[in-house]
């Protein structure tokens, strides 16, 4: 796997944050790869393992353990809706279904990303523009229901605002 | 949608949250310095490290992350001049459902946290500290990284802090969506680049065998912010805030069925549930009555409105008298909530009104824990999913008579049988909901027990056939079908 030099430099810089053990850099490196390529490929796992002098399984087991990492590409814009109690009481399930309807993703939880709607595999709309995931508590329970689109956080989202958000992320 | 700046409630004591929603406030270092920031750090650097630890001990500060462990005692386990290096990890993995306080500190007042970390590093002779921020806070991670760079430029972080022979590096480490990373030993495993499987205590008390098997102090964001104020006021003066053994202020986060949910910084024990809900949060939604409160994050045991709770109180002559009070009169502090059989936990208060179906609420909580169990210990990995499946079935209308008893038995067999406290965290909701609202569970679990397998099957056939059709509704869509045909 050939990496652009500035990306490789960024990786080397991150590894210096862990002077005691390079292995500690595995999570940050996975984040960098996912930000850069959208998902964690087999090649990425091999490359990171090689870089940190680990076995590939040491990296794969992280990808399968931590819910934020995915092994398939998400949509161009990735939507995360909070599922947990305070948001659910404030309309989180309805918001999730609204996003599904608007993006043409099957709203049935079992189809919207595997068991419980938690994104494995990620469910992507037919045009590839959006993917949606039902996630656990995003820690803003007082402003339910909340969601994230890519890295941006939105709180107290009404259905009207949700539709407007989709236009903001074409 | 950016939330409007909210005015603090007049009965709040804003110390940690002084700068949150403050008009004109920016989260850069210049704003913080202009407001007298980093003065306590300078003061702390003139003090002997051991004196700082003693001030924290005197202050009676208890951890704000969930367990409420005395911070000074935790610090006391670490030697300033031990043979191994010491580390500090800031636990910014705020992920207990109902809790949303650290989010605001990280986003709006990052330098207050950094000042707390620097003071703590000086007190504990730490030269490397990590801030473990949950993966869902990408902005907070960027803000913290920028703040560390700003502090470095001022000479507060890096080589020779404040011109002293003292080096300190602070780095941000991002999690990736796993709740279990909020457990301190799980967090350490995660920071070592592994799956966040919690370690067994003993021997792996972080203060003795923590990060890279070295002494490590893991403190919550809010706890570390208090350090600065303890230095400012002095431990004894700080201890006058709140009540004995429950000193200082704490941020409570209210969510659920109240008119205006939000965060409030209150003196511990100074406010009761009734005051919090009716006075601070504008009461219940119109026409609704209070039904139940989860007082300290979703794992805390639920409290039912209208029930009498017993707490002990000091009478005028110094003797302890037992008093019966209602839910409205329970003061918000560590000991009172423990006395009524729940816990103050992380300060996340979830309020539910009389329109809520308690089976549905428990099912939502069970789904959370089933998803978040790390899978290391069998009782928790299997039990959390069983509890979810049973409540799934009851919610969908397929509850059988035996379900409440089976639920309780599963929960009872998780708590106390796991490596970390997640076992308790996932069984307490089930145990407490069943104990406080038995009639709701019974009313929904009315179906007679179905036969375990169609009777026409004999053992040989089971072996011959690859799949055996068992009772309808065993999983997934079947539940919905069973419910529809009810």
- Convert the pLDDT of each residue in A135-147 to its tens digit: 999 999 999 999 9
**Omega prior to B203 cis, within 30 of 0:** yes
Looking at chain A from residue 23 to 82, which residues have their Cβ under 8 Å from any Cβ of chain B? 23-28, 30-31, 52, 58, 61-62, 65-69, 80
Q: Length of chain B, please?
A: 486
- Looking at residue B448, its pLDDT comes to 83
Q: Tell me the nearest-neighbour CA distance from A112 into chain B, angstroms.
A: 14
Q: Give the separation between CA A110 and CA A124, rounded to whole angstroms.
A: 14
Using alpha carbons, list the distances in angstroms from residue B210 to A61, B117, B215, B341, B462.
22, 18, 5, 31, 51
Using alpha carbons, list the distances in angstroms from residue B214 to A132, B126, B209, B324.
41, 11, 5, 47
Give the three-state DSSP class for B136.
coil
Q: Which residues contact B228 (CB under 8 A, 6 or more apart)?
A: B40, B41, B112, B115, B116, B119
Q: Give the separation between CA B359 and CA B433, rounded to whole angstroms.
A: 8
- Whether the CB of A161 is below 8 Å from some CB of chain B: the reply is yes
What would the pLDDT profile of B253-281 be if each residue is shown by its tens digit? 999 999 999 999 999 999 999 999 999 99
What would the pLDDT profile of B148-207 be if each residue is shown by its tens digit? 999 999 999 999 999 999 999 999 999 999 999 999 999 999 999 999 999 999 999 999
The model's pTM = 0.92
Burial class (CB in 10 A: 0-12, 13-18, 19+), B245: middle
Q: Tell me the nearest-neighbour CA distance from B330 into chain A, angstroms.
A: 22
- Looking at residue B6, its pLDDT comes to 78
User: DSSP letters along chain A, please?
Assistant: ----HHHHHHHHHHHTT-SS-GGGGHHHHHHHHHHHHSS--HHHHHHHHHHTT--HHHHHHHHHHSTT--SS---SEEEEEE-SHHHHHTTHHHHHHHHHHHHT---STTTTTSGGG--SSPEE-TTSSEEEEEES--S-GGG-S-EEETTEEE-S--HHHHHHHHHH--
How much is the average pLDDT of A99-104? Answer: 92
- Retrieve residue B300's tokens: 């805390």
Q: Tally Cβ neighbours within 10 Å of residue B468.
A: 12
Size of interface A-B (CB pairs under 8 A): 149
Contact A27 B174 (CB under 8 A): yes
Residue A99 has pLDDT above 70, yes or no: yes
pLDDT above 70 coverage of chain A, percent: 91
- Whether the CB of A138 is below 8 Å from some CB of chain B: the reply is yes
Q: Which residue has the tokens 């119109």?
A: B286
Contact B103 A140 (CB under 8 A): yes
Give the nearest partner residue to A27 out of B190, B256, B367, using CB atoms: B190
The residue ranking higher by pLDDT, B478 or A160, is: A160
Low-confidence ranges of chain B (pLDDT < 50): 1-2, 471-480, 482-483, 485-486
**Which residue in A has a C-alpha nearest to residue B293's C-alpha?**
A86
- Retrieve residue B448's tokens: 């007679």
- Looking at residue B410, its pLDDT comes to 96
Contact (Cβ atoms closer than 8 angstroms) between residue A136 and residue B179: yes
CA torsion through residues B239, B241, B243, B245, sign:
negative
- Retrieve residue A105's tokens: 């993703």
Which uninterrupted H or E stretch holds B92?
A: strand B86-92
């Amino acid at each position: 796997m050939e990496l652009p030099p500035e990306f490789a430099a960024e990786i080397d810089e991150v590894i210096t944050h862990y002077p005691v053990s390079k292995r500690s850099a595995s999570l940050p490196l996975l984040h960098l790869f996912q930000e850069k390529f959208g998902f964690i490929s087999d090649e990425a796992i091999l490359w990171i393992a090689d870089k940190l002098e680990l076995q590939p399984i040491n990296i794969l087991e992280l990808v399968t353990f931590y819910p934020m990492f995915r092994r398939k590409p998400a949509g161009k814009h990735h939507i995360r809706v909070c599922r947990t109690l305070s948001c659910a009481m404030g309309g989180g399930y309805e918001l999730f279904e609204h996003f599904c309807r608007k993006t043409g993703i099957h709203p049935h939880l079992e189809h919207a990303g595997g068991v419980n709607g938690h994104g494995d595999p990620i469910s992507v709309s037919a045009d590839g523009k959006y993917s949606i995931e039902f996630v656990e508590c995003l820690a803003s329970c007082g402003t339910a229901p909340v969601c994230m689109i890519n890295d941006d956080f939105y709180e107290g989202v009404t259905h009207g605002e949700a539709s407007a958000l989709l236009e903001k992320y074409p | 949608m950016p939330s409007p700046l909210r005015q603090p409630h007049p009965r709040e004591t804003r110390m940690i949250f002084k700068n949150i929603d403050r008009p004109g406030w920016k989260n850069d270092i210049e704003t913080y310095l202009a407001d007298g920031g980093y003065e306590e750090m300078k003061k702390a650097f003139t003090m002997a490290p051991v004196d700082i630890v003693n001030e924290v001990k005197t202050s009676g500060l208890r951890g704000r992350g969930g367990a409420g462990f005395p911070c000074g005692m935790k610090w006391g386990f670490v030697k300033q001049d031990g043979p191994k290096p010491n580390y500090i990890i800031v636990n910014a993995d705020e992920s207990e459902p109902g809790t949303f306080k650290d989010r605001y500190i990280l986003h709006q007042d990052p330098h207050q946290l950094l000042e707390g970390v620097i003071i703590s590093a000086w007190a504990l002779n730490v030269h490397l500290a990590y801030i473990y921020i949950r993966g869902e806070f990408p902005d907070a991670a960027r803000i913290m990284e920028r703040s560390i760079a700003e502090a470095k430029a001022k000479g507060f972080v890096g080589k020779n802090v404040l011109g002293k022979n003292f080096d300190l590096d602070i780095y941000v480490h991002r999690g990736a969506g796993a709740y279990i990373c909020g457990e301190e030993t799980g967090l350490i495993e995660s920071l070592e680049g592994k799956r966040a499987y919690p370690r067994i205590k003993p021997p792996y008390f972080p203060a003795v065998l923590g990060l890279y098997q070295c002494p490590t102090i893991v403190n919550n964001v809010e706890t570390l912010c208090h350090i600065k104020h303890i230095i400012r006021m002095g431990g004894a003066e700080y201890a006058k805030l709140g009540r004995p053994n429950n000193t200082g202020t704490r941020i409570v986060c209210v969510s659920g069925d109240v008119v205006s949910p939000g965060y409030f910084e209150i003196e511990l024990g100074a406010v009761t549930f009734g005051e919090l809900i009716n006075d601070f949060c504008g009461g219940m939604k119109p026409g609704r009555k209070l039904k139940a409160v989860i007082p300290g994050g979703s794992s805390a045991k639920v409290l039912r409105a209208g029930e009498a709770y017993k707490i002990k109180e000091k009478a005028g002559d110094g003797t302890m008298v037992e008093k019966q009070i209602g839910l409205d009169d329970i003061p918000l502090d560590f000991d009172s909530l423990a006395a009524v059989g729940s816990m103050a936990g992380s300060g996340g208060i979830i309020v539910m009104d009389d329109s809520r179906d308690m089976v549905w609420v428990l099912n939502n909580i069970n789904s959370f824990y089933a998803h978040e169990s790390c899978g290391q210990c069998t009782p928790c990995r299997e039990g959390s999913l069983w509890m979810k499946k049973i409540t799934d079935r009851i919610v969908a209308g397929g509850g059988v008579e035996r379900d409440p008893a089976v639920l309780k038995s599963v929960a009872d067999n998780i708590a106390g049988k796991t490596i970390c406290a997640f076992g308790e965290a996932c069984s307490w909701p089930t145990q407490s909901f069943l104990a406080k609202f038995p009639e709701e569970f019974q009313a929904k679990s009315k179906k007679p027990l179905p036969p375990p397998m169609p009777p026409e099957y004999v053992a040989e056939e089971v072996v011959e056939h690859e799949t055996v059709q068992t009772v309808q509704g065993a999983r997934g869509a079947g539940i919905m079908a069973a419910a529809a045909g009810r």
